[in-house]
Structure 1
Amino acid sequence: MIFVSSSVFAMSEINDLAEDLSREYIQKTGQVLIKKRIAVLDFDNVTPMMKKHDIGATVGALLTGEMGSSTVFRLVERKSISKIMKEMELSMTGMVNQEQAVKAGELSGAELLLLGTVSETGETISITARIISTEKGEVIVAKTVKVQREEMIKTADEVYWSAFQSEYGISISLGMNPIITNDGSMGPMMSLNVGYKPLRYLRVGGGFVYGKIIEFRTDKYDMNASTTAQTGVETSAFTPFSIYISSREFSIQHNYHVNVAMIKLYVDGLYPVYRWLTLGARMEYWFGMGKMVNIEQEIHGFPVPVSFDADNSGTYVSPEYAEQRIVVNAAGSVVHVFNPGIIAEFLISKRISINLSLGYLIATTIKPDLFYTADDNRETGDIDASGIFPRYPYYNFARDQNDKRITANISGVNFSLSVGLHI
């Protein structure tokens, strides 16, 4: 046996053709011990049907696989001769000009060229193959085989769609997912996706989204002698503070952010336009529970009591206040997000792709009922009571300075740029 077929698209006729070419080559040249370097070109498509399905490229690819396992020849990589052909402004088709093809083969280090033609005759396809010496430009061996047209076309389609990506299997992608919310806030996001392609036109998967919507809202206001207590703040707690600030004013900047750490599921409908380009539609569902999605209140210049708290109960002896930066987070129940969109996948190799998507997030409103700092959690079952901490009894973090409940919504436009690995 001269060949052990290694191609997943192997056809018995192509294997027989490679066997016959090798056997006759040995008979005519007597070569047995020294393996000659051979380059395989795409075969020339003679008839329109052959051009439509690019049968010549398929035959070239199949014979390349056969020659790669040959005990008679040593294969020159197709990309080596392809580079030289490109530099000479030629195609990989052997019938462009045999003399030029021979020259290109010689420059690539090949001692032999395998090229030929494919043509349609009724329900069969004729494949004529020739082995040519690059030194003399002479045809050493020529063989013709016939294969069933439909079988060959089916094989050509399989080779075509597998040329740049795995038709089925697992893909992993890591990317940036910036969000522009409806109120104009920006959110730099990161995502990690793992997908599975059970069909050529379908992919399902899941992943993880992480990021922050920065300053979806900013309040600037002053706390002074005219400040009144918010809803839920006991007058007895607010009065000492109100008396203290009667002689001064605190200038406060209150920034609100949304921290996102969500699980996502998705399904893609795909349409391969070219070998290198796949377009499609995607539907994503994101969800986050508890502290996975929270509103972060970052407050600069907040009046914090700094006098001694004897029993750590929030009751300060002769309270003194200083302007400090504090961070209070607020989380609610499950947040749901739907993200319909369109996708484009650019395949730059068989295993690597660049993916773009554009979608619109439709999210449920975040309505927190749990408020927490680095060392204290507040969840009482009552929103106003939960938003008041013992250390800050004069301020309700469940409400803004206009006495409205703190909420957030991340609905908006979502872009995505990612790099994918196809396994």
Structure 2
Amino acid sequence: MRSVPELLAPAGSLEKLKVAILYGANAVYLGGQKFGLRTAADNFTTAELEEGAHFAHDRGAKVYVVLNSFLHDSDLSELPEFLSLLDELSIDAVIVSDLGVIETIKKYSNIEIHLSTQASCLNTEAALLWKEMGVRRIVLGREISLSDAKEIREASGLEIEMFIHGSMCMAYSGNCVISNYTQGRDSNRGGCAHSCRFEYSLDFNNIENASKDEVKAYFMSSKDLEGIRALPEFIEAGIDSVKVEGRMKSHHYAGTISKVYSDALTQYQKSGDIVSKNILEWEQELRKITHRDYTLGSLQEPAGADSIYTEREHETPDYVVAGIVLEVVEDSHLLVEVRSAFYPGSTLELVPFNDPCIEFKADFLTETDGSSCEKSRPGILLKTPYVKGAEQWNIIRAKVMQ
């Protein structure tokens, strides 16, 4: 069988970790309560980190913990205790940006070090320097092309990880202070307010030959990265891990992304090719999750003006998670934890871990006490019709009526 990259998925919570792994991710990355750049995510408590690590390792998946914030001395003094916990849980690697953090890890732990994209490693000489510092894997900046990534890998001998899907940052791999200025939130210490997504007014009064006095624009907002069509090039370049952005995104996102890219990697591993028909099916699935318009970014050539997302953020996704399967009673019913409201007779879609999606009607909705339900409510448990092939933790989704 052909060698293909690891599929690395985001785990913004314990439940998303389970969803991503069950839908095909080979590894997940997550944050603890401190030291990461997604303080608004449902970051892991010690108990959740322990459960998540055991869940992943029991299924042959790896766990990487992000320590990619740029720390002050007061933060750094608390890091050794956290590193001790990570060692106890046999965490597979940490993702780091800060030189001081790297030195602290080397002093107090033997855990493997991956260099975060926040460090903006974009060339071979930088990669070789980081290698001397003890780094085993480089998460290359999104500004790098696949051809450049191949050269860096061959020249440095390091593992290379690259983003293949998700939100893009207008700054060099997140080195941005706009939200510090606009909202007093430190972008590089976990407080990014995504100020680049806002609509701004541009004043042309002092610009020679300007045709307008003022224009409103989303001139700093990028389209989302989608690299499914470039997957053979990732493999040809020898990329060791393909990474999906999105720790703050939904269970639907975590499951769909993991399923689609896992399917694509499995097909390539078996046949050495990706069938065009399947690419169209995968792209259709990727359009069912909340997203901006898609772009290949700089994977093949430098991103240009057509990579700018010039519209307001979409407020309504095409599909939502109607529920999560908690129990399957064969030939009887599914016990579902409701996430979005639906009704008896609603058309729903079960998303199996490996097989194609299955559409079914909610011919009955029954509460756990046996009473019928006329409308589901988020947070409650309901019995819905049995669907052959359903498993615990399967996503059930519903199309949003526009």
Q: Per the shorter chain, which TM-score range?
A: under 0.3
What TM-score, normalized by structure 2, do the two folds share? 0.18
| Bigger radius of gyration among the two | 1
**Bigger proportion of residues as helix:** 2
What TM-score, normalized by structure 1, do the two folds share? 0.17
Say which structure, 1 or 2, has more relative contact order (CA 8 Å, 6+ apart).
2
**Bigger proportion of residues as strand:** 1
